[in-house]
């Protein structure tokens, strides 16, 4: 395309962009939050515990009182079904799995993970598949780890790189969102899971932090299938390798959900041994609400189909607009996940920050460019995380138009600059 043709296209796109700006929009696709309609699906849960229904669980425990260090057995059984683990491998906590991840690393820093305290390793490192979850990276940055990016492809992390990097005994762990990864929406292949299970790290206290946040979050009836990491680790003689996390944050409520941490008997015994100094018990009344709402994993599955009916049109609205406006343009590519909470958009190198800025100037907030990378630094400045879960479909239609216009604007701006 000649410079004159580029200038004409840029003039047209700039005019379209200025029209969108004049609408004074206020749109937000920055975080993976459930919308009001999703949260309304679970409001009946608050009527399941009270004077009329009682405060005791099926074992006769009065959930108003102290005790129950590792959570109600009904929920251990429920999450055992969901995660394909034994109930005794499950610890049920408060509303945030991120809290449990933070605590586990904090305790490893002071008391180790079956070896010396991690703080004694002055050059400690953590592997970070990218793009990934910014709040994971924030935890390891907070504790002073050097974070090492590991590229992701359609099968998951680059396992050749992982297998090489773990030869360094100062590498203590790896973050993983194995099903519908944040933000790519990738589900790890069987081969990647098996290679994870067979890792032979130089550090005996190396752990896989397996954040299975989207284990039941399919958008379609034919969702992705994830191989059971723990089962594969047992087969490989590595039962202590994974620490597994999940929660109901996007099943019921982020502000009133329950989170779980699961592991081998050895790891669970270690974690529970520390918990007895930390707490006298979790919020069992909230756990009881969940246990009464979801008796089995099948109840959860039915509930998640109702979530999917709300979320699917939101995702499809974004994807349809991307397809209509940017297909075969050569300036963008994107993922088409079957579940989870995010779509990952890749624009021309050097344009992601500019796209985010243009969207913000037009009244549409996105996750900051670079956030899905350690230290907030995307070396190619090309990835943008899209979170379509919170706005209405009508708002998403407007936001998607702003986004596609901003992508074209930034690309033409860059092409003109390169051809100056």
pLDDT score of 4: 84
State residue 28's pLDDT score: 94
Residue 59's pLDDT is 92
pLDDT at 187: 98
Could you tell me which CATH class the domain 45-296 is placed in? alpha beta
Q: What is the pLDDT of residue 419?
A: 80
User: 94-147: per-residue pLDDT in tens?
Assistant: 999 999 999 999 999 999 999 999 999 999 999 999 999 999 999 999 999 999
Report the b/e string of 298-318 with b at 16+ CB within 10 A: eebeebbeebbebbeebbbbb
* 345 Cβ neighbours under 8 A, 6+ residues apart: 322, 332, 333, 334, 383, 384, 385, 386, 403, 407
pLDDT of residue 396: 97
Give pLDDT, residue 1: 72
- Give the H/E segment covering residue 280: none
Range 3-30+301-418 has CATH code 3.40.1280.10: no
pLDDT at 299 over 80: yes
pLDDT at residue 164, rounded to an integer: 98
DSSP letters for 169-207: TTEEEEEE--SS-TTT-----HHHHHHHHT---SSTT-E
Using alpha carbons, select from 149, 209, 144 the residue that is nearest to residue 176: 209
Predicted pLDDT at 360: 98
Residue ranges of domains in the chain: 3-30+301-418, 45-296
Asked if pLDDT for residue 420 goes beyond 80, the answer is no
- Per-residue model confidence (pLDDT) at position 91: 98
Instruction: Give the CA-trace dihedral at 22, 24, 25, 31, to 10 degrees.
Output: 110
Q: What is the pLDDT of residues 136-191, one digit of tens each?
A: 999 999 999 999 999 999 999 999 999 999 999 999 999 999 999 999 999 999 99
Instruction: Please report which confidence band the pLDDT of residue 323 belongs to, taking 50, 70 and 90 as the band edges.
Output: very high
For the cut 80, the answer to whether the pLDDT of residue 47 exceeds it is yes
| Separation between Cα atoms, residue 241 and residue 228, nearest integer Å | 13
Share of the chain above pLDDT 70, in %: 100
pLDDT digits 0-9 by tens, 370-418: 999 999 999 999 999 999 999 999 999 999 999 999 999 999 999 999 8
Which tens digit of pLDDT belongs to each residue from 271-288?
999 999 999 999 999 999
Any idea which residue has 């460019």 for tokens?
Answer: 369
pLDDT tens across 82-95, in order? 999 999 999 999 99
Mean pLDDT of 290-309: 98
Q: Rounded to an integer, what is the distance from CA 311 to the centroid of its chain?
A: 16
Give residue for tokens 């090492």. Answer: 148
- What's the whole-number average pLDDT of the chain? 97
Structure tokens at 131: 């793009």
Instruction: Judge whether residue 33 has pLDDT over 90.
Output: yes
């Amino acid at each position: 395309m000649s410079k004159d043709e580029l200038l004409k296209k840029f003039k047209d796109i700039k005019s379209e962009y200025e029209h969108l700006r004049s609408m004074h929009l206020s749109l937000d696709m920055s975080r993976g939050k459930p919308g009001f309609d999703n949260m309304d699906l679970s409001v009946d849960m608050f009527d399941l515990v009270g004077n009329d229904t009682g405060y005791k669980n099926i074992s006769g425990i009065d959930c108003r009182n102290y005790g129950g260090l590792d959570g109600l057995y009904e929920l251990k059984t429920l999450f055992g079904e969901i995660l394909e683990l034994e109930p005794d491998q499950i610890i049920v906590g408060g509303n945030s799995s991120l809290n449990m991840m933070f605590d586990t690393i904090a305790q490893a820093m002071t008391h180790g993970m079956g070896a010396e305290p991690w703080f004694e390793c002055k050059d400690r490192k953590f592997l970070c598949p990218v793009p990934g979850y910014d709040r994971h990276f924030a935890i390891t940055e907070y504790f002073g780890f050097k974070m090492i990016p590991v590229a992701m492809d359609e099968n998951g992390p680059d396992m050749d790189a992982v297998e090489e990097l773990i030869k360094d005994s100062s590498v203590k762990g790896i973050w993983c969102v194995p099903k519908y990864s944040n933000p790519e929406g990738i589900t790890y292949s069987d081969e990647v899971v098996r290679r994870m299970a067979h890792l032979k790290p130089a550090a005996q206290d190396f752990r896989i932090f397996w954040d299975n946040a989207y284990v039941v979050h399919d958008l379609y009836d034919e969702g992705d299938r994830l191989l059971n990491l723990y089962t594969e680790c047992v087969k490989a003689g590595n039962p202590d390798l994974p620490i597994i996390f999940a929660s109901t944050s996007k099943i019921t409520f982020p502000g009133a959900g329950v989170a779980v941490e699961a592991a081998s008997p050895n790891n669970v015994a270690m974690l529970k041994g520390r918990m007895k100094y930390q707490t006298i018990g979790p919020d069992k009344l909230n756990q009881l609400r969940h246990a009464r709402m979801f008796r089995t994993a099948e109840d959860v599955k039915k509930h998640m189909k109702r979530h999917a009916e709300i979320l699917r049109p939101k995702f499809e609205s974004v994807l349809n607009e991307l397809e209509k406006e940017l297909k075969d343009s050569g300036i963008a590519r994107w993922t088409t996940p079957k579940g989870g909470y995010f779509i990952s958009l890749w624009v021309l190198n050097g344009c992601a920050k500019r796209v985010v800025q243009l969207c913000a100037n037009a009244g549409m907030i996105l996750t900051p460019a670079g956030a899905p990378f350690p230290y907030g630094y995307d070396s190619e400045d090309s990835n943008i995380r899209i979170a379509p879960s919170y706005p209405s479909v009508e708002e998403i239609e407007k936001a998607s138009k702003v986004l596609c216009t901003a992508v074209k604007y930034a690309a033409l701006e860059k092409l003109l600059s390169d051809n100056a």
